[in-house]
Amino acid sequence: MTAMTRAELATAPRIVVKVGSSSISGESSWRIPMIVHALAGAHARGCEIVLVSSGAIATGIPFLDLDARPTDLATQQAAAAVGQNVLVYRYQEALRPFRITAGQVLLTTGDLETATSRSNARRAMERLLGLRILPIVNENDTVATQEIRFGDNDRLAALVAQLIGADALVLLSDVESLYTKPPTDPAAEPIDTIAADADLEGLEFGATVVNSVGTGGAATKVSAARLAAASGIGVLVTSADLIDRALHGDEIGTWFEPVIQAR
């Protein structure tokens, strides 16, 4: 048995794709149709696609007449409630020409940590995929508290990939690949492949980025990628602008080789 390769993304039966707030909210909302076009292409070839999308709070902020991301939990939850509605509407409008229907799935850590709710979540996702619906997953911000949050949607995407037994996970960001140091460092070099048994000690991957609309960065993607790869799921980290090439198996981004699972 051999491990899945990056090129096999072009024929993978089931893929989870994660996109962050900074890639699809505010002035970057133009990327939604571009991302949907790539997802629709994979869907047309028979691939079962699940999209994990951040951006609810960032999308909701303008509708609450706020100048910046709120810091108190109640206002964050209010922004998420408004923004999630708008975000899914934008995705559905972009999906309409392809005659693909989106299904909203909101999760908390408890949904994936408790046996019964985990089983229910898996069954619902499987049924959506069986009906050729494109599930759009996000954290249920309106009920999540700081203590019960996933921490970031990269981790949520890895857990969803595990939940549904995905073949691959694609983590989209603002840069084309992971680097040995912060990309602004002249000594930084892009990382093409990370072996399943690689020792990552000593690699910086850049500091965690916290911007005005989202949280995350290279560190969270590495952590999520290793989590998924340990379950036998191949992981690609690359730029949201390269999603179409990613789903065609092109030699781009940073590929985390999956651990071969014993039968």
- 42/158 Cα distance (integer angstroms): 20
Strand partners, 216: 209
DSSP state of 243: H
- 138/120 Cα distance (integer angstroms): 16
Q: What share of the chain is helix, strand, coil (3-state, %, to 5)?
A: 45, 20, 40
* Residues flagged as binding site for ATP: 18, 173-174
Please classify residue 221 by burial: count the beta carbons closer than 10 Å to its beta carbon, then call 0-12 exposed, 13-18 middle and 19+ buried.
Answer: buried
* Residues flagged as binding site: 18, 54, 141, 153, 173-174
The bridge status of strand 193-194 relative to strand 254-256 is parallel
* Residues flagged as binding site for substrate: 54, 141, 153
Computed over its alpha carbons, how large is the radius of gyration of the chain?
17
